[in-house]
Amino acid sequence: ILILPAFGIISHAIMNCFYLTQSFGADGMIFAINSIAMLGCVVWAHHMFTAGLDSDSRSYFTMATMVIAVPTGIKVFTWMQTMNGGLMYLHPILLWICGFLFLF
C-alpha cells in the first residue's frame, strides 16, 4: 500500500516529461491500481518470513505474491508504452523514471 503514491508520481512525471494529458491505457491503469490496493489488503503479510509456517500458509503467501505481480506488471508496461514514441530529452526526472522502471 505504501507504493501507491509512488505509482501516481511516476504516472504524472511521465505525462509531464512527454507533454501528455493522459497516459496510455488510462482505464487499465485505474483498474490495476485499484486491484493493487485491494490485493495489498489481502496480502499484507507476504513479506514475512515463512520459516516455521505450515505448507498451506507458505503456499498461500506464495500465491498471493504472484497474484499481486500481475497488476503491477500491467502498470509498468503501460508506463513503458506511454513513453514509447515520445521525444526523450535527458531531464533529471526522466532519468529517475527510467531508473525506477529498470530497478522495479
What are the sequence ranges of the domains in the chain?
A: 4-103
* Reported pTM: 0.79
Helix (H) or strand (E) holding 21: none
Rounded Cα distance between 98 and 14, Å, is 10
pLDDT tens-digit readout, 23-66: 888 888 889 889 888 888 777 766 666 667 788 877 887 888 88
Count other C-beta atoms under 10 Å from residue 24's C-beta.
Answer: 17
Residues 87-101 have pLDDT tens digits of 888 889 989 999 988
Contact (CB, 8 A) for 101 and 78: no
